[in-house]
Amino acid sequence: MIFPLPTRVDINECLDPQACGVNAECVNVPGNYTCLCRDGFVGDPYNGCADVDECAQPGVCGPGAICTNVEGGYRCDCPAGFDGDARSAQGCADFDECTRSPCGRNALCRNDVGSFRCECPEGFHGDAMTDCQDIDECSNNPCAEGAQCINTPGGFRCSCPAGMTGSGDGHCDDINECARANACGENAKCINFPGSYKCLCPQGFQGRDPFRGCVDIDECTAFDKPCGNHAICENANPGYNCLCPQGYAGKPDPKIACEQADVNVLCKSNFDCTNNAECIEGQCFCQDGFEPQGSSCVDIDECRMDAHVCGPSAMCINTPGSFRCDCEAGFIGTPPRIQCKTPCADVKCGKNAYCKAEGQEAFCICEEGWTFNPNDISAGCVDINECDPGQGPNGRCGVNAACTNLPGSFSCQCPPGFTGDASRQCYDVDECSKPNACGEGAVCKNLEGSHKCSCPEGSIADPDPRVCKDINECKDPNKPACGVNAICKNLPGSYECQCPPGFNGNPFLSCEECSSLECKCPAPYKFMDGNCVLDSCSTDGKCAGGAECITITGGVSYCACPKGFRTQADGKCEDIDEFGYKGDPLTGCTDEDECANSPCAYGAQCVNQKGGYKCCVCPNGFIGNPYVQCKDIDECSTGNVCGEGALCINSAGSFDCRCKPGLAGNPF
């Protein structure tokens, strides 16, 4: 057997990562290997290779290039803003970025070494890299007054508008077109204004195109009554005039109205003239008796111009255009030809007579107290006997008067004991009303024309019959004045009798000592259970014998006589004759005002009378006994005293009706 020879296989040492050093390359060779440093590295490849810094060597890269060492090599780069072959001998050259338009709209690009710059040009603002916007310089009004500002890209321009011109200092001055000849048409008015002008037809002219010309307007025919009332229109160039005709004046101006200011206006007939004027040869004049005063003919007051035109005692009466003379009242005549005089001026009357005028007539009349003798008128005036009984009981004098006839007159006198107006009536003089007409105590009696003094009953003359003294009846020994046991009291001209205490009876006959129960317990008392007590009123509140029921505290009532009455033994009431006078009866008595002591009940009216008084009924609106008490009547409780819907309000002695709130009308 043949055995093949064993194959020899090379061992690749390079498979061992540790075969070479760092940065070395392992190269396997048959039966061995070798280690080599990589490009850009130097050193012991078996232990490790270190990087070579090629950039440290000069001229590695081209001019202007940037050398950058890398592991195992290097790199040559042109810096920003440069371009070229960084490894060639030409190296890197500056690159013009502006050729690529790197800046924004309207921006300027400026190239720099290795770079570029973007700027907004003058007149622009904004971000030059994105957009530059134009600045509107006209917004700040950079131009002079009157000039127009025109904005341009990056600037502005000032120019003068139409109708303006520059003055060299940037200002614009208006061109006065109206200074040029024939700027407007004939009669037109040129009005210059800044930058232009216009042509207008002035007032009083018209035209379609004022630049060609204006013609005058005849306002007097073109307008309807251009002037005021009564005014005359006169055309002018230009305009028109308003004139007032003769005798007229403007009020206030002829264009408004003309008012007649003078009588002497032009006329064709009297109808063209004012009142009381007439047309003479085409002009108005005032008629006779009238004079011009403004536009009117006023009457001439001849009476005022000559106060004596009618003569004495005559009245001048002015009339339209003339005057009239009349005699004053009480005068006759035909002034001014025959002067005025009294009707009696040429009349002569006899003795005790005078002339009396009545209208236009004159008469002779006897003076007062004289008269004509109807049987012999020629004898003239004779005296009138005013005291003749045919004239009356006392002639022409008053009643009771004495009449005395005098020539042409008479006199009246009141006789002794009479007084008054003797021509009307003489009244008797009351001598008794005079003090001391009679003596002390005497009674005076008035007589017609005189008086008489006498002593009253109960007195005698002392010793003169005109002086009287009182008779004391209580001391007359021949005739006892009072009864047995009675007490006598003398009074002026009289006396009175009274029973003493403990006695009873008629004091003018006899007073008996009280022994009976009725005597010891007179009305208004009565015996009850051995006691003298008040006699109560009946159940109906009435009393007998004219007495009235009196109620006191506690409901107790009794019968008593009213004031002015006395209680008799039988309980009946007897009137007391109080006389109602006070004073000394020997010298004179005067009426006593009993009402001063309030004798009536509360609320009642007391009326004083001569010699007494009376208590009237309770006044209106009250009810009750006027000697006891008057109570108010509540009229509202009677019902239907007020109208429908009204409130009744009672008051003392009356009542009132008022409408309820919210109502109106007559509450009664």
Q: What's the whole-number mean pLDDT along residues 586-598?
A: 62
CA dist., res. 542 & res. 535, Å (int): 12
Residue 576 falls inside a structural domain: no
pLDDT of 279: 92
pLDDT of 581: 46
Q: What's the whole-number mean pLDDT along residues 135-149?
A: 83
Range(s) of the domain holding residue 313: 304-341
Which of 482, 521, 474 lies closest to 498, judged by CA?
482
Residue 580 binned pLDDT confidence (cut-offs 50, 70, 90): very low
Asked whether the whole model's pTM tops 0.75, one would answer no
* Among candidate residues 63, 97, 131, the one where a domain is terminated: 97
Judge whether residue 375 has pLDDT over 80: no
- For residues 404 and 495, membership in a common domain is answered with no
Residue 67 falls inside a structural domain: yes
pLDDT tens-place string over residues 173-194: 888 888 888 889 888 889 988 8
- For residues 495 and 403, membership in a common domain is answered with no
Instruction: Please compute, for residue 28, the number of CA atoms within 13 A of its CA located in the half-sphere on the CB side.
Output: 10
pLDDT tens-place string over residues 213-246: 888 878 787 778 888 777 888 888 777 888 888 8
Find the CATH number of the domain harbouring 331.
2.10.25
The structure tokens listed for 478 are 């021949």
617-651 burial, b at 16+ Cβ within 10 Å, e below that, comes to: ebeebbebbbebbbebbebbeeeeebeeebebebe
Find out whether 92 and 63 touch, Cβ atoms under 8 Å. yes
pLDDT tens-place string over residues 55-107: 888 888 888 888 988 888 889 998 887 888 878 878 888 888 788 888 988 88
pLDDT of 204: 78
- For residues 387 and 446, membership in a common domain is answered with yes
Between residues 548 and 495, which one has the greater pLDDT? 548
Residue 170 falls inside a structural domain: no
* Among candidate residues 77, 97, 117, the one where a domain is terminated: 97
Residue 115 binned pLDDT confidence (cut-offs 50, 70, 90): confident
- What secondary structure does DSSP assign to 64-77, as a single string? T-EEEEETTEEEEE
Q: What's the whole-number mean pLDDT along residues 557-580?
A: 68
- For residues 438 and 490, membership in a common domain is answered with no
Residue 493 falls inside a structural domain: yes
Residue 223 falls inside a structural domain: no
The structure tokens listed for 20 are 């070479």
pLDDT tens-place string over residues 356-374: 888 888 888 888 888 887 7
Lowest mean pLDDT: which of 147-151, 247-251, 379-383, 625-629?
A: 625-629
CA dist., res. 486 & res. 497, Å (int): 6
- For residues 375 and 400, membership in a common domain is answered with yes
CA dist., res. 82 & res. 64, Å (int): 8
To the nearest whole number, what is the mean pLDDT of the chain? 80
pLDDT of 26: 92
- For residues 370 and 440, membership in a common domain is answered with yes
CA dist., res. 514 & res. 522, Å (int): 11
Residue 504 falls inside a structural domain: yes
In single-letter form, the type of residue at position 87 comes to: R
- For residues 401 and 479, membership in a common domain is answered with no
CA dist., res. 567 & res. 518, Å (int): 13
Find the CATH number of the domain harbouring 437.
2.10.25.10
pLDDT of 661: 77
Percent of the chain with pLDDT over 70: 84
- For residues 89 and 53, membership in a common domain is answered with yes
Number of domains in the chain: 5
Sign, CA torsion 362/363/364/369: negative
CA dist., res. 445 & res. 438, Å (int): 9
- For residues 406 and 494, membership in a common domain is answered with no
pLDDT of 524: 62
pLDDT of 4: 64
pLDDT tens-place string over residues 282-314: 899 998 888 888 888 988 888 888 888 888 888
Lowest mean pLDDT: which of 323-332, 396-405, 598-607?
A: 598-607
Between residues 520 and 232, which one has the greater pLDDT? 232
- For residues 82 and 47, membership in a common domain is answered with yes
- For residues 384 and 440, membership in a common domain is answered with yes
Q: What's the whole-number mean pLDDT along residues 138-158?
A: 84
Judge whether residue 630 has pLDDT over 60: yes
Residue 295 falls inside a structural domain: no
Give the contacts of 237 (CB within 8 A, at least 6 positions apart): 204, 216
* Among candidate residues 97, 123, 142, the one where a domain is terminated: 97
**Helices and strands, number each (H, E), in the chain:** 3, 63
Residue 650 binned pLDDT confidence (cut-offs 50, 70, 90): confident
Q: What's the whole-number mean pLDDT along residues 5-23?
A: 83
- For residues 410 and 335, membership in a common domain is answered with no
Residue 35 binned pLDDT confidence (cut-offs 50, 70, 90): very high
Residue 581 falls inside a structural domain: no
